[in-house]
Amino acid sequence: MQQYRAHVLVCGGTGCVSSGCHAVKEALLEGLKTHDLADEVLVVKTGCMGPCDMGPLIVVYPEGVLYRQLTPESALRIVEEHLLKGRVVEDLVYRTENLKPVPVLEEISFFSRQTRIALRNTGLIDPESIEEYIARDGYLALARVLQQGDPEAVIAEVKKSGLRGRGGGGFPTGLKWEFTARAPGQPKYLVCNADEGDPGAFMDRSILEGDPHSVLEAMAIAGFAVGANQGYVYVRAEYPLAVQRLSVAIEQARRYGTLGSNIFGTGFDFDVEIRVGAGAFVCGEETALLASIEGKRGEPRPRPPFPATEGLWGKPTLINNVETFANIPPIILGGGESFASIGAEKSKGTKVFALAGKIRNTGLVEVPMGITLREIIYDIGGGIPDGKKFKAAQIGGPSGGCIPAPCLDVPVDYESMAELGTMMGSGGLVIMDEDTCMVDVAKFFIEFCKDESCGKCAPCRIGVKRMLETLERITTGEGREGDLELLEELGQQIKDSALCGLGQTAPNPVLSTIRYFREEYEAHVRDKCCPAKVCKALLEYRILADVCVGCGACKKACPVGAIMGERRQPHEINTAVCTRCGACVEACRFDAIVR
């Protein structure tokens, strides 16, 4: 095998694909060819490295220098300077807030504060090369498990690790495996839930795109442990890159004999097929997902019976999330105890979060459980940009809730999140600053749930719609006394009576924002005012007469002719005509227009 003196890793996650990593990679290859370096320097396309706002980005090894926001032109400079002459190109490396260059990846706090287990290979290997996965101890756990030949020992190890489901529910994984193993009925099936419907979440997608073999290996291990020979990965059609890389991985695994019949010569057979879903949020719910795989409508059904006893085609079925699976090979190789030494009391190991919103470093991060939100937001995420103040963190997507500033030091684990009225969820973490209206946020999530409700049960189909209507009234200045109490009562009843997790958690964003930001709701209801100045209907645009010079720029910009005034005289806005589009504010060079 050829030895290269340098490896250039080009991030090929979906984020970087859209910011132009293909052109950067082409430029690198072209440059290496021109300078006759193609035999010395290897270019590898990896999965998502995490810091999506820095894309397109590359890391040059052995030095481990990270270059970011590249163009084909700057990529050529890296070839000419770094790869040819060994000089780091200072102006293309990462810089801290006070502009200090930090070329080496391991010293950038975004990376150095993370603990990577599920993402151990993501961004570091070529996801389309099974050999690179094997080099990182890939398929070693499977080989050991099969050679040992004791399914109960595998389940015992997973139980010891304390691993809990990363798909949102947080159910102990080892127990679920045990239930499925003990359930009567043959054949048994295995399902990997890669539906990932939370808006803004992309943890599972990144694992499938960056390290698909880790999921396949874990599925084979789980199959052996519970006695299943057939697995399905349920992915949404909106994830074409994940589907493609997974297909390549399955094909390679079959060729290398880590999937198929008689794996490692031990007589164990296991194979995996992909099922592509149309991308409905409710199809992430396990019973709806199983119905969808069977070719039926993706609607939940009451549990019990749980899938562990009656799943696909009525047979015992183990269903786990992508990230849950990705943790399995390290648990087998390193032992359950060592995994359990990471994290919090009842929440072991790490969690991957998709950081988004008003935060300096957006992207994918994996942190030990029990870390505080403050550490995630300020140490890893780099804090809030533009000198704005932190207002709330939305965790757990549409099923979760909002955490206010006074709770920033609460540890992030399953129990603490539940106490705060939210949930760990699957890993969506949206940071909001002072310019965010919490009523508007609650409305956004409840609207999402209304759209995604399957309509099977009344509390969710009708109740969630009523909650949305009430919020719409509040945000348009039609709020009435008693609305908040109504929302609280209705929310609680939906939580108690809806059939599936979608309805049971849909009120969370509303209830948690009422709990922590009640004054903001009251300002909307009583004073017909949106303190964050987001809810359009509650805004009133006004021109400050002593600042206005009468230039007329606003008058020209207003699309509905709501502005009146003579030249050189202070202008005025006719609020009856004004549609609150904000065009005049943009147009005014004197900051004379206020809301």
Partner 1 sequence: MKSLQDLERIRLKAQERMRVREGEGATKIAVGMGTCGIAAGARDVMAAILDEVAKRKLADVTVTQTGCVGLCEYEPLVDVILPGQQKVTYARVDADKARQIVARHVVNRQIIGDWVLARS
Ligand X SMILES: Cc1cc2nc3c(=O)[nH]c(=O)nc-3n(C[C@H](O)[C@H](O)[C@H](O)COP(=O)(O)O)c2cc1C
**Site for partner 1, rule CB under 8 A:** 1-7, 9, 36, 39-40, 42, 61-64, 83-87, 124-125, 131-132, 134-137, 139-140, 143-144, 147, 256-258, 264-265
Q: Which segment (139-147, 167-175, 498-506, 546-554) binds ligand SF4 by CB under 6 A?
A: 498-506
Q: Which of 498, 543, 558, 563 binds ligand SF4 (CB under 6 A)?
A: 498
Examine residue 321 and tell whether it contacts ligand X (CB under 6 A): yes
Q: Residue 195 and residue 322: Cα distance in Å, rounded?
A: 9
Task: Return the structure tokens found at 561.
Answer: 């002719």
In degrees and rounded to multiples of 5, residue 542 shows phi and psi of -140, 145
Residue 396 interacting entry, from ligand X, partner 1, ligand SF4, none, C-beta within 5 to 8 Å by type: none
Closer to ligand SF4 by Cβ: residue 266 or 504: 504
Find the binding residues for ligand X in span 164-183 (CB under 6 A).
Answer: 165-169, 171
Examine residue 502 and tell whether it contacts ligand SF4 (CB under 6 A): yes
Task: Return the structure tokens found at 511.
Answer: 């209830």
Examine residue 453 and tell whether it contacts ligand SF4 (CB under 6 A): yes
Total chain residues near ligand X (CB under 6 A): 23
User: Which 8-state DSSP code applies to residue 81?
Assistant: I
Examine residue 500 and tell whether it contacts ligand X (CB under 6 A): yes
Closer to partner 1 by Cβ: residue 63 or 488: 63
Distance of CA 198 to the CA centre of its chain: 7
Q: Interface mask (CB under 6 A) for ligand SF4, residues 192-221, using x and -? A: ------------------------------
Q: Residue 120 and residue 107: Cα distance in Å, rounded?
A: 17
396 half-sphere exposure, CB direction, 13 A CA radius: 27
Find the binding residues for ligand X in span 184-223 (CB under 6 A).
Answer: 193, 195-197
Closer to ligand SF4 by Cβ: residue 168 or 382: 168
The torsion defined by the Cα of 343, 349, 355 and 358, in degrees rounded to 10, comes to -10
Q: Residue 557 and residue 367: Cα distance in Å, rounded?
A: 48
Find the binding residues for ligand SF4 in span 288-327 (CB under 6 A).
Answer: 300
Closer to ligand X by Cβ: residue 428 or 479: 428
Write the burial class of residue 419 (CB in 10 Å: 0-12 exposed, 13-18 middle, 19+ buried).
exposed
Examine residue 450 and tell whether it contacts ligand SF4 (CB under 6 A): no
Closer to ligand SF4 by Cβ: residue 281 or 414: 281
Examine residue 467 and tell whether it contacts ligand SF4 (CB under 6 A): no
For the bound state, the minimum distance from the C-beta of residue 542 to ligand X, rounded and expressed in Å, comes to 44
Residue 453 interacting entry, from ligand SF4, ligand X, partner 1, none, C-beta within 5 to 8 Å by type: ligand SF4
Closer to ligand SF4 by Cβ: residue 71 or 497: 497
For the bound state, the minimum distance from the C-beta of residue 236 to ligand SF4, rounded and expressed in Å, comes to 17
For the bound state, the minimum distance from the C-beta of residue 466 to ligand SF4, rounded and expressed in Å, comes to 14
Residue 152 interacting entry, from ligand X, partner 1, ligand SF4, none, C-beta within 5 to 8 Å by type: none
Which helix (H) or strand (E) is 503 found in, with range? helix 501-505
245: Cβ contacts below 8 Å, ≥ 6 apart? 47, 127, 128, 208, 209, 212
Which helix (H) or strand (E) is 143 found in, with range? helix 140-148
Give yes or no for a contact between 369 and 379, defined as CB atoms under 8 angstroms apart.
no
Q: Residue 370 and residue 377: Cα distance in Å, rounded?
A: 14
In degrees and rounded to multiples of 5, residue 78 shows phi and psi of -65, -40
Task: Return the structure tokens found at 257.
Answer: 């004999």
For the bound state, the minimum distance from the C-beta of residue 68 to ligand X, rounded and expressed in Å, comes to 30
Residue with tokens 């990577």: 116
Find the binding residues for ligand X in span 254-313 (CB under 6 A).
Answer: 281-282, 284-286
For the bound state, the minimum distance from the C-beta of residue 281 to ligand SF4, rounded and expressed in Å, comes to 8
How is 505-548 classified by DSSP, letter by letter?
A: HTTHHHHHHHHH-HHHHHHHHTS---TTS--GGG---EE-TTT-
For the bound state, the minimum distance from the C-beta of residue 516 to partner 1, rounded and expressed in Å, comes to 45
Give the residue from 317, 538, 505 showing the smallest Cα distance to 398: 505
Closer to ligand X by Cβ: residue 80 or 447: 447
For the bound state, the minimum distance from the C-beta of residue 196 to ligand X, rounded and expressed in Å, comes to 5
483: Cβ contacts below 8 Å, ≥ 6 apart? 470, 473, 474, 525
For the bound state, the minimum distance from the C-beta of residue 77 to partner 1, rounded and expressed in Å, comes to 14
Cα angle value 584/588/594 (rounded, 5°): 70
Binding site for ligand X (CB under 6 A): 165-169, 171, 193, 195-197, 281-282, 284-286, 319-321, 324, 426, 500-502
Residues that bind ligand SF4 (CB under 6 A): 282, 300, 453-457, 460-461, 498-500, 502-503
